[in-house]
Amino acid sequence: MNTMKLPYSPTLLRKHFSIMGCGKSVIRTVSLSMAFGIAASLASAFVGERPAYGASPYAAAVNRGVIEIEAGPADDISVRLIGEIARIVDDGSTRRVVPVVGRGPLQNVNDLKYLRGIDLAIIQADALDFSRQQKLLAGGDTLTYIAKLHNEELHLLVTSDIKTPADLAGKIVNTDLADSNTAFTAFRLFELLQIAPKIATDSQPIALDKLRKGEISGMAFVTAKPAALFSSIKPSDNLHFLSVPLTQTVLGAYAPTAITAADYPNLIDADKSVDTIAVGTVLMAADLHLFPERERNVRTFVETFYTGYQALLGTGFDPRWRDINIAADVPGWVRHPASLAWIRNNPQIAAPADAEMLQALFTRFIDEHRQVGGAAPMSASEKNALFQQFEAWQHGQPH
């Protein structure tokens, strides 16, 4: 078993954002400041126009209107979503979406900034915010967003002796493969909760087998509920989902959500729910203002994607599309000009929800959530204060 104190140490972060030598030179890891200084000065070498493939008309036709979109790892839902986007964007002659399998959230941020050919990428919102807060990318704010996409939930499955996250301190917790989406979010959450478990990086099926045998104390998994991986768990396995403490620090970084018996009847009692966090994903665009052909392709993609979005809500497509509002803002980031222009020209889809209606829905959610969990009702003033925190989180304001 592969264990470490926590992933994404300073050394590992430098590895993510290192500049690699060319030809026969040895791959070298340099300091972040030096790496980004070099990368900024050589940006055109990393994200320039695609190379020409001769004068053949066929080659020109094949490369016309191509958009490369980087997804998460091979088993991530984003890979399927990009395939479905391609179904409404590709026209066989002037538009084509080429999916690229990524290696993890921080690597996706790095690739979108520097890797030649990557036009768009689906990236976890927490990785975007982290990369900017830690100044991991020089000029990272030149990245823009096309649309806020789906949320996924953090699942913390633990053995029967673990009652609170604090019980995981010093215990072995699996966070999926190193550099995975789950590994990054688990690292952030444990850091926010000031908990230091021992981290294992096995694949999720192997981790579940070890958890059943008692070889590890817990496993984290960021995925959309319900996860098929957990459908085979029996009561005799003595495993349960652990609630995430929704502290002010945690809510400053993540939106609250819950998993219920409707999601996992084999693991959660009918009248119970488990608090956890939602991890958002965003379709981001590279800064291509120096490369007019690729920028035109992105603009065409945006117009086609937005115009054809309703098709994704129909049968034959992932149901997660029905929970996505492509006009929603991403706090702290700038919307791509083509996306902004389309929304301004189609205001009917971008009209914000009525504030009173939104607060009423929020209040009902709180009341139902506490009733299911057996907690005492909150007072009107407490619910109002919580709603204000929720609004602040939505708009990226401190609270």
Coil, strand, or helix at residue 191?
Answer: helix
Give the per-residue pLDDT at 330.
92
Q: Which residues of the chain have pLDDT under 70?
A: 1-55, 138-141, 349-362, 364-365, 368-374, 390-399
Q: What percent of the chain has pLDDT over 90?
A: 62
Q: Look at the block and give the residue holding tokens 């992105």.
A: 298
Among candidates 220, 227, 77, which has minimal Cα distance to 158? 220
Domains 7-150+281-349 and 151-280 fall in the same CATH topology: yes
Question: Which residues contact residue 382 at a Cβ distance below 8 angstroms, ignoring those fewer than 6 apart?
Answer: none
Q: Residue count of the chain, please give it.
A: 399
Side chain identity at 173, as an amino acid letter?
V
Give the per-residue pLDDT at 43: 41
List of E strands, 140-201: 144-159, 172-174, 198-200
C-alpha–C-alpha distance, residues 58 and 205, integer Å: 45
* pLDDT, position 92: 85
Amino acid at 117: G
pLDDT of amino acid 164: 96
**Would you say 122 and 101 are in contact if contact means Cβ atoms under 8 Å apart?**
no
Q: What is the b/e burial string over 23-58, where b = at least 16 CB atoms within 10 angstroms of the residue's CB?
A: eeeeeeeeebeebbeebeeebeebbeeeeeeeeeee
Enumerate residues 6+ apart whose C-beta is below 8 A from 108. 70, 72, 102, 121, 122, 123, 127
Q: What is the pLDDT of residue 358?
A: 60
What is the predicted pLDDT for the residue at 62?
84
- Rounded CA gap, 396 and 390, in Å? 10
Which residues contact residue 390 at a Cβ distance below 8 angstroms, ignoring those fewer than 6 apart?
Answer: 362
Cα 280 from chain centroid?
5
2 phi and psi angles, rounded to 5 deg: -95, 115
| Tokens standing for residue 29 | 């890891």
270 CB burial (10 A radius; 0-12, 13-18, 19+): exposed
Which pLDDT belongs to residue 38? 36
Shortest CA distance to 332 belongs to which of 297, 274, 282, 292? 282
Fold of 151-280: D-Maltodextrin-Binding Protein; domain 2 (3.40.190)
Alpha carbon distance 322, 69 (integer Å): 21
The reported pLDDT for the residue numbered 157 is 98
pLDDT recorded at residue 159:
98
Please report, to the nearest 10 degrees, the dihedral formed by the alpha carbons of residues 169, 196, 259, 264 taken in order. -60
- Whether residue 162 contacts residue 218, with contact meaning beta carbons closer than 8 Å, is answered with yes
Segments making up each domain of the chain, as ranges: 7-150+281-349, 151-280, 353-399
Question: What pLDDT is recorded for position 20?
Answer: 33
Distances in Å between the alpha carbon of 114 and those of 36, 42, 43, 274? 10, 9, 6, 40
Short-list 7, 4, 331, CA closest to 184: 7
Structurally, at CATH architecture level, domain 7-150+281-349 sits in: 3-Layer(aba) Sandwich (3.40)
Taking each helix axis as running N to C, give the angle between helix 105-114 and helix 181-193, from 0 to 180 degrees, rounded to the nearest 10: 120
Asked whether 153 and 199 are in contact (CB, 8 A), the reply is: no
Confidence at residue 387, expressed as pLDDT on a 0 to 100 scale: 75
Residue partners of 245: CB distance under 8 A and separation at least 6:
164, 165, 193, 275
H-helix segments, 134-198? 181-193
What was the pLDDT predicted at 60? Answer: 79
Quote the pLDDT of residue 139. 58
Both structure tokens of 123 = 């990236």
3-state SS class at 381 = helix
Tokens of 372: 């299911």
- DSSP symbol at 354: P
Q: Which residues contact 177 (CB under 8 A, 6 or more apart)?
A: 73, 183, 201, 202, 203
CB 255 within 8 A of CB 275: no
Residue 282 φ/ψ, nearest 5 degrees:
-135, 140
